[in-house]
Amino acid sequence: MNLDPDLDRLAALEGFFALRTGLPRVRAGRPPLPTLAEVYATAPRDVTDELPSGDEPDPLGFRVRKVVRLLAAPEARVGVSVAQQGLAARLWSVALGAAVLYGRVPDLDPALLRWDADGSAPDDLWLAEVRALPGDAATIRRLVHDGHLEPLSVALRARHPVAAGLLRGNAASALASTARLLDGWAAAHGRTDVRARVRALTADLLGHPDLRDTGDWTGTVFRRRSCCLYYRVPGGGVCGDCCFTKAPRSSPTDPSG
């Protein structure tokens, strides 16, 4: 099945799976939203004033500051981790969801995706043009991991001292969470074909050297070897796939894979 121009089947899954197509409306007196290619290439900026999204000289810096503020996080790297994992989940969801529903994936070239650093799903991402590509693991890996998560990691680490292993663990965790959601949807709708496809693709993606050492995957259960630092947020605890079974009381060296 080929992709439809508006990716309607993805939109039916809602949330992180939906992807806007076309170009976002240009707001009067303000520049267009940047592409993710532009975001990754932007040099870090020391910005103290909070400017409107789209006017920011450093959208990644804006996103991290926003997350830190909303979570009342005690340090910037917690905001880095949560922001990166959220974008990773968006990208994996679009790619994996399309692969299992259509058998094809949209080209997610960073130059085709515009990002609103102040937005939430599905209004944060806009795909300028729907170009169908094969829905295999190699293509998904190239689009998401190589095309986005690697340059995103480089860009974030240029701004803040966060471990590369932690970000790889976040990428794997986001992929595993996406797979569990799709597996649950398929089970609820009697789609055994989708369940099989989800599990096969996820096992292939997590088995690649890029993510192989981030944790252990069995069925739909993933246990990571690093921590996303969410337990440091006031009132936060450990995530379901965390390497910790309970939040540390002290501040140990954070596992980073």
Radius of gyration, CA atoms only, the chain: 18
List the chain pLDDT tens, one digit each, 257 residues: 688 888 998 988 878 899 999 988 776 667 788 999 999 998 887 655 555 555 668 899 999 999 999 989 888 998 999 999 999 999 999 999 999 999 999 999 999 999 999 888 888 999 999 999 999 999 999 999 999 999 999 999 999 889 999 999 999 999 999 999 999 999 999 999 999 999 999 999 999 998 999 988 887 788 888 887 767 777 777 787 677 767 776 554 455 44
DSSP SS3 for 115: strand
20-21 and 104-106 strand pairing: unpaired
Beta-carbon neighbour count of residue 30 at 10 Å?
11
Q: Cα–chain-centroid distance for residue 168? A: 11
Burial class, 216, CB count within 10 angstroms (exposed 0-12 / middle 13-18 / buried 19+): exposed
Angle formed by the axes of helices 164-188 and 150-157, to 10°? Answer: 140
